[in-house]
Structure 1
Amino acid sequence: MSNLTSIESNVVNPSTSTYQWSWQGQPVSVAYETEGVGKPILLLPAFSTVSSRTEMSGLAQLLKSQYQVTTVDFPGFGDSDRSRLDYAPPLYRQFLAEFVRDIYRSPIAIIAAGHAAGYALNLAATVPNSVSELILVAPTWRGPLPTMARGQKPWLKGIRELIRTPVIGQLLYQLTTTPSFLAFMYRRHVYADAHKLTPDLLTQKRQITQQPGARYGAGAFVTGGLDPYLDRASAIAHLQSLSIPVLIAIGQSSPPKSTAEMLALAEVPHVISHTLPGTLGMHEEYPAELYEVILPFLR
């Protein structure tokens, strides 16, 4: 396959590759990057307003000496196309299944953060022999506004559609991506150590939000349109159905509601869990601590 050839050619000298995908007849270019040699591992960044494969780079650098590591930007985020699509769970379930099918020859280990953990869990449960090990980092299944509203509400869809409009939608999006608002959100539930929120880091995050079409995917996430599960029971049922090794990493400073969901998943009998420093962005803030529990698990 051409995509497989591309991934193999980038093992020694990593560079951004493009996976040409299609959703409902519309072409979508997806950016991904591979480095290292060995057993393949796919790293999936968390969905967010600033979602980017770069947030997995610290962990990828630690793993690449022993594994072939691929990081990818989801459609609508990062360096991938941000077309005006209907970003929703069916799109991301199909994307992930086809990306894994087209890129890899055999089952792979997946390390997935945030909402991406839910999609990785769904893949492992519904596509037999696609995943060999599953590592869920601060796994979440409910978006920010549904969490605040205590569940999915009809008016959330109205906000989502409003964000997609040309003028008002762009204005609403800009209000929620100002440097001060991004800094506030990072301090609140993304980074545990506020001293790490340097001006350079916040500038990089701000730049991610300013790409053309960025509000479509981000708006869907914030309003719950990308929630991989509608309730805890569905996620637990998929987790219970797995026969592969599963590791869950829980940030010790995670918000109470998110922590409760992570602990519920960790209670499934065959799951290994660790509580580590950090909160919802622990995969980016504390990659070394995460690496220390991932390495023996993979071995």
Structure 2
Amino acid sequence: MAAERSSVATRILDLTVAGHRVATPSAVIGEGADALLLPALSSISAREEMLPLAHELGDTYRCLVPDWPGFGAHPRTRLPLNPANLHAFLDALLAAVPGPYALGVAAGHAAPYLVAAARRHPGAFARLVLVAPTWRGPLPTAMGPERAGWFGRIRRAVEMPLLGEALYRINISPPIIGRMMRAHVYAEPAHVTPAVVAAKHRITRQNRGRFGTAAFVTGGLDPAASREDFLALFGHGLPPVQVLRPDKAPRRSGAEMDALIATGRVTALPVPGALSAHEEFSGDVAAAIRSA
């Protein structure tokens, strides 16, 4: 653990994305070279999940940790949620706070978005670190492409007034959040305490929270259509890329990480944890980042 926790300041970035004003709350932690830390996209996504890692890195880096539009522990922005708008969000963020960044860190589904942004903005990042990178949402991962026709129907149902809110509340209850976290988010069930579950549940209860969840879970925010498309993001034209592969990542997601590592286009280190290793084992993740 870091010897002393850095103070946290909050900065609101006033961005314009696809013609929409997107007020973006961001944490600023630490001193030193600039670093951009992007939380994973998920039903419980919020910048708070990156704060333990930012504190660990705060004696070396000045970390900017924004919320994604449509996610976070605050009322959500009215922005159509799709890959094009998330790419545009990062473009707007890099225009407002251009760095250059000594370090870019992204977890889960944020990883391919960060890589694509680094390709669009040469020189913005000196190096990238991807923690448990994923590209395929939960339903496409679990059900396979042969059931793709259902995903849009499920998303539209959750987005409907009244019925959608009822479906959403049923599927993000504290018991379900706890079960999900023990299954693939955290590696150690004992770390999924009632306090942790309550904090995650508060994130899901934000106004318009169901829209981000519906988009992510059904694959509506998948930045690639296939493994081949995902792997094609990597290679020439990027700064050095390091993948931190959690030892207890779910089998299907871990296979995608292993396929990326096998290309030789990235360097890789194992870390403890599952899909939220950056939060659960922030000290180990920070040590791996510093070892590069």
TM range (shorter): over 0.9
What's 1:23 paired with?
17
Match of 1:197 among 182, 192, 209: 192
**Residues 278, 249 of structure 1: CA spacing in aligned structure 2 closer, same or farther, 3 A cutoff?**
same
Q: 1:49 aligns with which of 21, 25, 43?
A: 43
246-255 vs 97-106, greater mean Cα deviation: 97-106
Partner of residue 159 from structure 1, selected from 140, 154, 177: 154
1:28 and 1:81 in contact (8 A); partners too: no
1:75-154 matched pairs, under 5 angstroms: 75-79=69-73, 81-151=75-145, 153-154=148-149
The TM-score normalised by the length of structure 1 is: 0.91
Paired with 2:101 and 2:182, the residues of 1 have a C-alpha distance of 37
Q: Tell me if structure 1 keeps the 8 A contact 2:271–2:288.
A: no
Rounded to whole Å, the distance in 2 between the matches of 1:142 and 1:46 is 12
SS state of the match for residue 144, structure 2?
coil
Whole-angstrom distance in 2 between the partners of 1:243 and 1:146? 28
| Cα distance change, pair 253–105 in 1 and its aligned pair in 2 (3 A) | closer
3-state SS of 1:248 partner: strand
Asked if the contact 1:38/1:68 (under 8 Å) is kept, the reply is yes
Question: In the alignment, which of 204, 209, 217 is matched to residue 214 of structure 1?
Answer: 209
CA distance in structure 1 between the partners assigned to 2:75 and 2:20 by the alignment: 11
Aligned 8 A contact 2:127 2:240 in 1: yes
Q: Number of paired residues?
A: 286
Q: Structure 1, residues 190-235: CA drift from partner, whole Å, max 9, x if none?
A: 0110001111111111111001111111110011001111111122
Give the aligned CA root-mean-square deviation in angstroms. 1.5
Q: Which runs of 5+ in 2 are unaligned?
A: 1-5
**Could you give the per-residue CA deviations for residues 164-209 of structure 1, whole angstroms, max 9, x where no partner exists?**
1111100111011101000110011001100011111111111110
Alignment of 1:164-183 (within 5 A): 164-183=159-178
Secondary structure at the counterpart of residue 164 of structure 2: helix
The 10-residue stretch of structure 1 (123-132 or 224-233) with the greater mean CA deviation from structure 2: 123-132
Distance change in 2, residues 1:19/1:81 (3 Å):
farther
For 1:245-290, what per-residue CA distance to the aligned partner results, in whole angstroms no more than 9, with x for missing partners? 1100111111111111001111232411012211111111111111
DSSP-derived class of the 2:134 partner: coil
Q: 1:50/1:22 Cα in 2 relative to 1: closer, same or farther (>3 Å)?
A: same
The DSSP-based 3-state class of the residue aligned with 1:71 is strand
- In 1, the alpha carbon distance for the partners of 2:232 and 2:183 equals 31
Judge conservation of contact 2:74–2:207 (CA < 8 Å) in 1: no
Q: In terms of mean alpha carbon deviation, does 133-142 or 267-276 score higher?
A: 267-276
Verify: 1:241 aligned to 2:236, yes or no.
Answer: yes
Contact in 2 for aligned 1:29/1:80 (Cα 8 Å): no
Q: What displacement does 1:126 show?
A: 2.7
Q: Is 1:61 the counterpart of 2:55 in the alignment?
A: yes
What TM-score do you get using the length of structure 2 for normalisation? 0.94
Contact kept in structure 2, 1:178 and 1:206, CA below 8 Å: yes
CA contact (8 A) 2:73 2:202 kept: no
The one-letter amino acid paired with 2:143 is A
Three-state SS of the structure 2 residue aligned to 1:129 is coil
Match of 2:3 in 1: none
Report the CA distance shift for 1:223/1:243 in structure 2 as closer, same or farther (over 3 A).
closer
Gaps of 5+ in 1: 1-11
Give the 3 Å change call, closer, same or farther, for CA 270–225 of structure 1 in structure 2: closer
How many percent of aligned residue pairs carry the same amino acid? Answer: 36
